[in-house]
Amino acid sequence: MVTADLRPTQVLVNEQAIFENIQQAQRLAPHTRIFAVVKADAYGHGLLRVARIAHLAKVSGFCVAVLEEALALRQAHFTEPILVLGIVAPELAPLAAVHDISVPVGDEAWLKAAEPLLAKADTPVLKVHLAVDSGMGRIGFRQPQAIAKAAAFADAAPHLLVEGLFTHFATADEADTQYFDQQSARFNTMLQALPKRPRFVHVANSATSLWHQKTASDMIRFGVAMYGLNPSGRALPEPYPLKPALSLVSQIVFAKQIHAGDAVSYGATYHAQQDEWIGTVPMGYADGWLRRMQGFSVLVDGQRCEIVGRVCMDQFMIRLPHEYPFGTPVVLVGTSKAATITLQDVADYASTIHYEIACNLTQRVVRRSISRL
């Protein structure tokens, strides 16, 4: 997708905020390795930008979702350990090994398929992290006997090294810890089934690191909190202040006065009740500003202005208190004078989570750094 860097709509990324969020996590867990989770273009903040900030903050490594993201980091000369969190095809095992990229394994069959391919390619040892499905229902071993058998196979294989064991909690961001405790117990049973403890035993995502600090983990997969977002939304208070890193801004590119009864946008779902000033903002659902945001507000000159009519593919309209000139700033996420709209506010209105709002912002929206390190 083409990036519209000549258009006033832009994501502003506060680099200092990301850096300080990492520092807070390091202070909270001074003896635990921090792996910065930069998957999905760093939750919409920019993969290489955030990796550079995390490198400056001296993180121990990176987590990504797919092999291509790991390769992009290697091509950008990041040398820290990298763990892919999603299953990679066995046929790609030699590529991962050559670039020193660790991959997850959820069954013995994967190891048996990858070992001969690694041997044929005569690659370096491939580092694997055995995934445990302790209750997430996504990937991983479910039986102690199965994981012990797989670990034994890997230990005997010349081109495989069990570097880690991990799981992912489904409810670490909830006040009720019953299911979390069940998952912890299941994971510990799987850990005890291994003949030896791997280098990395990790269970902590952002939520676990914030609210379950007593959980034994050799590393923290520090994701959404790195970007200053509370993993629980509004359910749990943060143990320390998180600094949101993302703002979304644009400008008024057209303003006109309409009259009582006049309609705005597709489907004519909005009709003016009286004479009104309507401003047009150059952003739409093709940029990730969801069609269902009709009725939400943005900020103009510190005032909340309602989105009227359906959000279009590339534009939406807002009701203004009076006429504003071309180029007047519009804040979709962030602060204007004394007023603030957060990603959580947007998510609440859209009946979703802030992760989705940030990740939905497409590459057509240019990203620019502020408070650059």
**85-130 pLDDT, tens per residue?**
999 999 999 999 999 999 999 999 999 999 999 999 999 999 999 9
Nearest to 264 by CA among 216, 198, 308: 308
pLDDT of 50: 98
What gap in Å lies between CA 369 and CA 19, rounded to an integer? 13
pLDDT of 59: 98
pLDDT of 214: 80
pLDDT of 142: 98
The residue extents of the domains of the chain are 15-227, 246-352
Nearest to 275 by CA among 335, 340, 321, 217: 321
pTM for the whole structure: 0.96
- Number of helices (H) and strands (E) in the chain: give both, helices first: 11, 20
pLDDT of 211: 95
Residue type for position 177: T
- Positions annotated as catalytic residues are 39, 266
Q: What is the pLDDT along the chain (373 residues), one digit of tens a residue?
A: 899 999 999 999 999 999 999 999 999 999 999 999 999 999 999 999 999 999 999 999 999 999 999 999 999 999 999 999 999 999 999 999 999 999 999 999 999 999 999 999 999 999 999 999 999 999 999 999 999 999 999 999 999 999 999 999 999 999 999 999 999 999 999 999 999 999 999 999 999 999 998 887 899 999 999 999 999 999 999 999 999 999 999 999 999 999 999 999 999 999 999 999 999 999 999 999 999 999 999 999 999 999 999 999 999 999 999 999 999 999 999 999 999 999 999 999 999 999 999 999 999 999 999 999 9
DSSP class of residue 110? Answer: H
CA 250 distance to own-chain centroid: 23
- Residue numbers in the known binding site for substrate are 138, 313
Per CATH, is 15-227 categorized as 3.20.20.10? yes
How many C-alpha atoms does 156 have within 13 Å on its Cβ side? Answer: 8
pLDDT of 259: 98
Contact present, 245 and 17 (Cβ < 8 Å): yes
Question: Which stretch of DSSP H or E encloses residue 105?
Answer: strand 101-105
Could you tell me whether strands 316-320 and 366-370 are parallel, antiparallel, or unpaired per DSSP bridges? unpaired
pLDDT of 313: 98
Could you tell me whether strands 339-341 and 303-308 are parallel, antiparallel, or unpaired per DSSP bridges? unpaired
- Residue numbers in the known binding site are 138, 313
DSSP reduced 3-state for 113: helix
State which CATH number among 2.60.120.1570, 1.10.760.10, 3.40.50.720, 2.40.37.10 fits the domain covering 246-352.
Answer: 2.40.37.10
Residue type for position 362: T
